[in-house]
């Protein structure tokens, strides 16, 4: 991921609000970046731009060989469906669908056939330790379980870029640790690039690189690409690729 001179502004009641001002950023394939900063610093905006949810107003953003600056709405939709996996603080699950159907939905949008995507959803739910909850609706799951379903959905189309926006923001400590461990396992085992937006400095410290968007702050020293993550507590439900890999 290569970002150059990224600027983004919003029209606010008091005038124009600049949230990203000349961001340059390189994240190698398979890298792990944590983005922190105060509320309103532009963390989610950065995530939305590199995830193709929003077009940059100024500067260039390239993910792999795709220049998001030049992509149209359909290109961006295809990019999001094939290259990016999103994990949201609010989980983003559809309450009217079961856990398995939520996971299948991403495959359905990518054009996967019914049998293939059902098998993949089953495998992914098994991999996140929720095979037994496949037929449960989101409202019947705990917060941690919902986030694991969301991670399974994000992995459906085998993305090269996994973006997590405050993935532990709505979780208790134990569930948060389990979710973080799961994201890191996915990142490590599948080799996808992981970008996590968080307020949690402990979580940020585990990333290979840390970008602090607070005004006047540069990326923290010692968080160079390739830095080893700090050890994490082992949760009850670890990502277990040997329990079933996506087809």
> Can you give the binding site for other proteins, defined by CB under 8 A?
44, 47-48, 51-54, 73-74, 76-78, 80-82, 84, 86, 88, 90, 92, 94-97, 105-106, 108-111, 114, 153-154, 157, 165
- Bridge-based pairing of strands 58-63 and 2-12 is antiparallel
- Bridge-based pairing of strands 161-165 and 193-197 is parallel
Residues 6+ apart with CB under 8 A from 188: none
Q: Which is nearer to other proteins, 15 or 139 (CB)?
A: 139
Q: Which is nearer to other proteins, 42 or 235 (CB)?
A: 42
Q: Which is nearer to other proteins, 62 or 75 (CB)?
A: 75
Q: Report the alpha-carbon distance of residue 185 to residue 238 in Å, rounded.
A: 8
Residues 6+ apart with CB under 8 A from 127: 152, 155, 239, 240, 241, 243, 244, 245, 246
Least distance to other proteins from the beta carbon of 45, Å?
A: 8
Return the biggest CA–CA distance within the chain: 54
Q: Which backbone phi and psi does 14 adopt, to 5 degrees?
A: -90, 0
Least distance to other proteins from the beta carbon of 48, Å?
A: 5
Q: Which is nearer to other proteins, 60 or 108 (CB)?
A: 108
Count of alpha carbons within 13 angstroms of residue 100, beta-carbon side = 17
Q: Which is nearer to other proteins, 90 or 201 (CB)?
A: 90
Least distance to other proteins from the beta carbon of 125, Å?
A: 16
């Amino acid at each position: 991921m290569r970002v150059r001179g990224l600027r983004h502004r919003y029209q606010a009641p008091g005038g124009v609000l600049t949230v990203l001002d000349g961001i340059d950023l390189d994240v190698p394939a398979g890298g792990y970046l944590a983005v922190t900063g105060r509320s309103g610093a532009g963390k989610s905006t950065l995530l939305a731009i590199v995830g193709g949810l929003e077009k940059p107003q100024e500067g260039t953003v390239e993910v792999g060989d795709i220049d998001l600056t030049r992509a149209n709405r359909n290109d961006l939709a295809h990019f999001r469906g094939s290259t990016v996996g999103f994990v949201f603080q609010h989980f983003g699950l559809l309450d009217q669908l079961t856990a398995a159907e939520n996971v299948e939905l991403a495959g359905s949008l990518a054009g996967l056939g019914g049998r293939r995507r059902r098998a993949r959803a089953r495998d992914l739910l098994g991999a996140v330790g929720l095979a037994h909850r496949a037929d449960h609706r989101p409202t019947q799951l705990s917060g941690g379980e919902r986030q694991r379903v969301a991670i399974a959905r994000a992995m459906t189309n085998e993305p090269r870029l996994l973006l997590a926006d405050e993935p532990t923001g709505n979780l208790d400590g134990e569930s948060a640790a389990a979710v973080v461990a799961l994201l890191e396992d996915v990142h490590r085992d599948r080799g996808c690039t992981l970008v996590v937006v968080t307020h949690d400095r402990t979580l940020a410290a585990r990333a290979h690189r840390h970008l602090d968007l607070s005004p006047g702050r540069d990326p923290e020293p010692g968080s160079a690409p390739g830095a080893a993550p700090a050890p994490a507590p082992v949760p009850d439900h670890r990502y277990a690729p040997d329990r079933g890999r996506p087809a």
